[in-house]
Structures are given as C-alpha cells and as structure tokens.
Copies of this chain bind each other. A is one copy, B any other.
C-alpha cells in the first residue's frame, strides 16, 4: 500500500494525471503541457502509470508515429481524491506561505 501512495505522491505523477484529466493527449503535447518535465521522466512516469492500469496507451501507425495516452476508469477514479487535495492546497496556500515566512524569520518558537 505504501507503494501505491509513493507512486501517486511522485513529483510528476499528479501533474501528468491532471493533464490527462482534461483530455487524452499525445506524448509531445504532454511535454509541452507539463512544466519542466524531461523526455526521460515523462516516459518513465507514463510507463509506471500504464503498469498500474491508471492510463492506457494507444499507438497510431502514422508517419511519423503518434501515441495517445488516456485515463482508464481506474485513473479517472483517482481524480476525485486528487482534486480534493489540490483544492486543500489552493485554499491553504496563503496560510502555509505565511507560516513559512514567520518560521524563517526565527519567530517560529515564540508563541503568537
């Protein structure tokens, strides 16, 4: 079970899942949409997600070849808890930023 959360909690996994939540996307498009991900990491992330059955891979024998990735039903089902977390992060962004700033000013230990 730790394995599963580790995969979801991975640096890129959430971002890729979010990107695929919008619509199915091709490899190159994912590269453009997910900020700062390298080709290597994108490939790896996609493989692991495919392995876990969260996404499916569809090859089109065009020239040049194109590969489309889309969320499986299982992949869709994880979006709910994921969005809940993202919403929490957004809602508490200010509080956390403030807490960090205060802590970094050395005032963390003095009770407010």
Contacts and interface: CB of A to CB of B under 8 A. Distances in A.
Contact of A53 (B87, B88, B95): B95
B74 A95 contact: yes
B52 A100 contact: yes
A9 B4 contact: no
Contacts of A103: 50-51, 53
A89 B50 contact: no
A22 interface: no
A84 B86 CA distance: 12
Interface in A34-83: 50-54, 57, 74, 77-78, 80-82
Interface of A: 1, 4-6, 8-11, 14, 50-54, 57, 74, 77-78, 80-82, 84-90, 92-93, 95-96, 98-100, 103-104, 108-109
Given A85-B82, A89-B8, A100 B51 contact: yes
B51 A93 contact: no
28 contacts: A1-B90, A1-B93, A4-B89, A4-B92, A4-B93, A5-B85, A5-B86, A5-B89, A8-B89, A9-B11, A51-B99, A51-B103, A52-B96, A53-B95, A53-B96, A53-B99, A53-B100, A57-B109, A74-B95, A74-B96, A74-B99, A78-B92, A80-B84, A80-B88, A81-B81, A82-B85, A84-B84, A85-B85
